[in-house]
Amino acid sequence: MAAAAEQSSQQASAARAWHEVVLQTLKRNDIRLVPYVPDRVLTTLIKNIHADPFFTTFPTAREEEAVGIVSGAWMGGMRGAVLMQTSGFATLANVLASLAIPYQIPLIMFVSERGTLGEFNYGQSLVCRTMRPLLDSLAMEHHTATRLDEFEFIVDRSIKQAIATQAPVALILSPLLTGGKVFDK
Protein backbone atom coordinates (compact mmCIF):
# COMPACT_ATOMS: atom_id res chain seq x y z
CA MET A 1 0.00 0.00 0.00
CA ALA A 2 2.68 2.43 1.09
CA ALA A 3 4.83 1.48 -1.86
CA ALA A 4 1.90 1.95 -4.19
CA ALA A 5 1.13 5.35 -2.67
CA GLU A 6 4.76 6.36 -3.03
CA GLN A 7 4.82 5.22 -6.62
CA SER A 8 1.65 7.11 -7.41
CA SER A 9 3.04 10.19 -5.69
CA GLN A 10 6.17 9.94 -7.81
CA GLN A 11 4.08 9.65 -10.93
CA ALA A 12 2.07 12.69 -9.92
CA SER A 13 5.33 14.53 -9.30
CA ALA A 14 6.71 13.48 -12.66
CA ALA A 15 3.57 14.69 -14.37
CA ARG A 16 4.02 18.22 -13.06
CA ALA A 17 6.06 20.82 -14.86
CA TRP A 18 9.04 22.34 -13.04
CA HIS A 19 7.22 25.66 -12.58
CA GLU A 20 4.28 23.89 -10.93
CA VAL A 21 6.71 22.32 -8.49
CA VAL A 22 8.11 25.77 -7.63
CA LEU A 23 4.66 27.29 -7.10
CA GLN A 24 3.37 24.44 -4.97
CA THR A 25 6.53 24.19 -2.89
CA LEU A 26 6.51 27.93 -2.20
CA LYS A 27 2.92 27.61 -1.03
CA ARG A 28 3.59 24.61 1.15
CA ASN A 29 6.35 26.58 2.87
CA ASP A 30 4.15 29.66 3.30
CA ILE A 31 6.28 31.82 1.00
CA ARG A 32 3.84 34.51 -0.06
CA LEU A 33 5.96 37.41 -1.27
CA VAL A 34 7.57 36.96 -4.68
CA PRO A 35 9.21 40.04 -6.23
CA TYR A 36 11.00 39.36 -9.47
CA VAL A 37 12.91 40.72 -12.42
CA PRO A 38 11.48 38.72 -15.31
CA ASP A 39 13.11 36.20 -17.58
CA ARG A 40 11.73 34.38 -20.61
CA VAL A 41 12.15 31.00 -18.93
CA LEU A 42 10.22 32.20 -15.87
CA THR A 43 7.25 33.52 -17.87
CA THR A 44 4.77 30.75 -17.04
CA LEU A 45 5.81 30.65 -13.38
CA ILE A 46 5.38 34.41 -13.06
CA LYS A 47 2.00 34.31 -14.80
CA ASN A 48 0.74 31.52 -12.53
CA ILE A 49 2.00 33.22 -9.36
CA HIS A 50 0.19 36.39 -10.41
CA ALA A 51 -2.99 34.37 -10.98
CA ASP A 52 -2.88 32.85 -7.48
CA PRO A 53 -4.25 35.14 -4.73
CA PHE A 54 -2.05 33.35 -2.17
CA PHE A 55 0.91 35.34 -3.46
CA THR A 56 1.89 38.98 -3.37
CA THR A 57 4.01 39.29 -6.49
CA PHE A 58 5.31 42.19 -8.55
CA PRO A 59 8.25 43.24 -10.73
CA THR A 60 11.08 45.35 -9.33
CA ALA A 61 13.48 47.59 -11.23
CA ARG A 62 16.56 45.71 -10.00
CA GLU A 63 17.27 42.38 -8.35
CA GLU A 64 18.98 44.16 -5.45
CA GLU A 65 15.77 46.00 -4.74
CA ALA A 66 13.86 42.71 -4.60
CA VAL A 67 16.42 41.34 -2.12
CA GLY A 68 15.86 44.41 0.08
CA ILE A 69 12.09 43.92 -0.06
CA VAL A 70 12.11 40.25 0.94
CA SER A 71 14.68 40.98 3.66
CA GLY A 72 12.40 43.62 5.17
CA ALA A 73 9.41 41.34 4.83
CA TRP A 74 11.25 38.49 6.57
CA MET A 75 12.02 40.74 9.50
CA GLY A 76 8.35 41.71 9.56
CA GLY A 77 7.25 38.08 9.65
CA MET A 78 6.42 37.41 5.99
CA ARG A 79 8.37 34.88 3.94
CA GLY A 80 9.54 35.68 0.43
CA ALA A 81 11.58 34.48 -2.52
CA VAL A 82 13.15 36.35 -5.44
CA LEU A 83 13.04 35.26 -9.08
CA MET A 84 15.73 36.44 -11.50
CA GLN A 85 18.06 35.35 -14.27
CA THR A 86 21.84 34.85 -14.24
CA SER A 87 22.78 38.37 -15.28
CA GLY A 88 20.61 39.75 -12.49
CA PHE A 89 22.30 37.55 -9.93
CA ALA A 90 25.60 39.06 -11.06
CA THR A 91 24.48 42.42 -9.64
CA LEU A 92 24.02 41.06 -6.11
CA ALA A 93 27.52 40.67 -4.63
CA ASN A 94 27.24 43.79 -2.47
CA VAL A 95 23.79 43.11 -1.05
CA LEU A 96 24.61 39.48 -0.29
CA ALA A 97 27.81 40.45 1.50
CA SER A 98 26.41 43.47 3.35
CA LEU A 99 22.78 42.50 4.08
CA ALA A 100 21.64 38.92 3.58
CA ILE A 101 24.65 37.09 5.00
CA PRO A 102 25.81 39.31 7.89
CA TYR A 103 22.25 39.96 9.12
CA GLN A 104 21.48 36.22 8.80
CA ILE A 105 18.47 36.56 6.52
CA PRO A 106 17.13 33.40 4.83
CA LEU A 107 17.08 34.90 1.35
CA ILE A 108 15.65 32.39 -1.13
CA MET A 109 16.61 32.99 -4.75
CA PHE A 110 15.54 31.20 -7.91
CA VAL A 111 17.98 31.94 -10.70
CA SER A 112 17.08 30.95 -14.23
CA GLU A 113 20.40 29.97 -15.73
CA ARG A 114 21.46 31.57 -18.96
CA GLY A 115 24.89 31.50 -20.52
CA THR A 116 25.35 27.76 -20.90
CA LEU A 117 24.07 24.73 -22.84
CA GLY A 118 23.24 26.54 -26.03
CA GLU A 119 23.72 30.20 -25.17
CA PHE A 120 23.72 32.50 -28.19
CA ASN A 121 24.78 35.73 -26.48
CA TYR A 122 28.49 35.88 -25.59
CA GLY A 123 27.88 38.38 -22.79
CA GLN A 124 25.42 36.01 -21.12
CA SER A 125 27.91 33.16 -21.30
CA LEU A 126 30.56 35.34 -19.66
CA VAL A 127 28.38 36.64 -16.85
CA CYS A 128 27.20 33.08 -16.12
CA ARG A 129 30.79 32.18 -15.26
CA THR A 130 30.79 34.69 -12.40
CA MET A 131 27.79 33.13 -10.66
CA ARG A 132 29.19 30.03 -8.96
CA PRO A 133 32.56 31.60 -8.06
CA LEU A 134 30.63 34.41 -6.34
CA LEU A 135 28.41 31.95 -4.46
CA ASP A 136 31.44 29.88 -3.49
CA SER A 137 33.50 32.89 -2.44
CA LEU A 138 30.77 33.76 0.08
CA ALA A 139 30.38 30.08 1.06
CA MET A 140 26.71 30.27 0.16
CA GLU A 141 24.46 27.27 -0.18
CA HIS A 142 23.50 26.70 -3.80
CA HIS A 143 22.15 23.92 -5.95
CA THR A 144 21.78 23.53 -9.67
CA ALA A 145 18.54 21.77 -10.52
CA THR A 146 18.83 19.68 -13.68
CA ARG A 147 16.25 16.91 -13.18
CA LEU A 148 12.53 17.09 -12.57
CA ASP A 149 12.50 13.97 -10.39
CA GLU A 150 14.89 15.58 -7.90
CA PHE A 151 13.52 19.05 -8.15
CA GLU A 152 10.85 19.11 -5.46
CA PHE A 153 13.25 17.54 -2.97
CA ILE A 154 15.89 20.17 -3.72
CA VAL A 155 13.49 23.11 -3.54
CA ASP A 156 11.59 21.98 -0.44
CA ARG A 157 14.67 20.97 1.54
CA SER A 158 16.59 24.09 0.53
CA ILE A 159 13.79 26.41 1.62
CA LYS A 160 13.50 24.64 4.96
CA GLN A 161 17.27 24.71 5.47
CA ALA A 162 17.52 28.42 4.63
CA ILE A 163 14.87 29.26 7.19
CA ALA A 164 16.19 26.89 9.88
CA THR A 165 19.79 28.08 9.50
CA GLN A 166 18.95 31.73 8.71
CA ALA A 167 21.21 31.64 5.66
CA PRO A 168 20.59 32.52 2.01
CA VAL A 169 20.26 29.92 -0.72
CA ALA A 170 20.43 30.13 -4.51
CA LEU A 171 18.52 27.59 -6.57
CA ILE A 172 19.87 27.63 -10.10
CA LEU A 173 17.41 26.42 -12.72
CA SER A 174 19.49 24.73 -15.41
CA PRO A 175 18.38 24.59 -19.06
CA LEU A 176 18.41 20.80 -18.49
CA LEU A 177 15.39 21.36 -16.24
CA THR A 178 13.63 24.25 -17.94
CA GLY A 179 14.64 23.92 -21.57
CA GLY A 180 16.35 27.28 -21.30
CA LYS A 181 16.15 30.03 -23.85
CA VAL A 182 17.20 29.06 -27.34
CA PHE A 183 18.18 31.17 -30.28
CA ASP A 184 15.08 32.24 -32.12
CA LYS A 185 15.10 35.72 -33.64
Partner 1 sequence: MSPTNTNTKVMNRFDVTSRLVAKLKNEEAVIGGIGNTNFDLWAAGHRPQNFYMLGSMGLAFPIALGVALAQPKRRVFALEGDGSLLMQMGCLSTIAALRPANLCMIVMDNGLYQITGAQPTPAAAVSDIVAIAIGCGISNSVWAADEQDFERLVGESLSASGPMLIGVRIDDKAGVGTTRRDPVQIRERFMLGLGVRQAL
Q: At closest approach, how far in Å is the CB of 159 from partner 1? A: 18
Q: At closest approach, how far in Å is the CB of 74 from partner 1? A: 7
- 38 or 72: whose CB is closer to partner 1? 72
- β-strand partners of 84: 111
Q: What are phi and psi of 137, to 5 degrees?
A: -65, -25
- Of the candidates 119, 113, 86, 99, which has an alpha carbon nearest to the alpha carbon of residue 166? 99
- 97 or 126: whose CB is closer to partner 1? 97
Q: At closest approach, how far in Å is the CB of 48 from partner 1? A: 20
* Burial readout 152-170 (b: 16 or more C-beta within 10 A, e: otherwise): bebbbebbeebbeeebbbb
Summarize as ranges the residues that interact with partner 1 (CB under 8 A).
Answer: 33, 35, 56, 58-62, 64-78, 80, 94-95, 97-99, 102-105
- 46 or 117: whose CB is closer to partner 1? 46
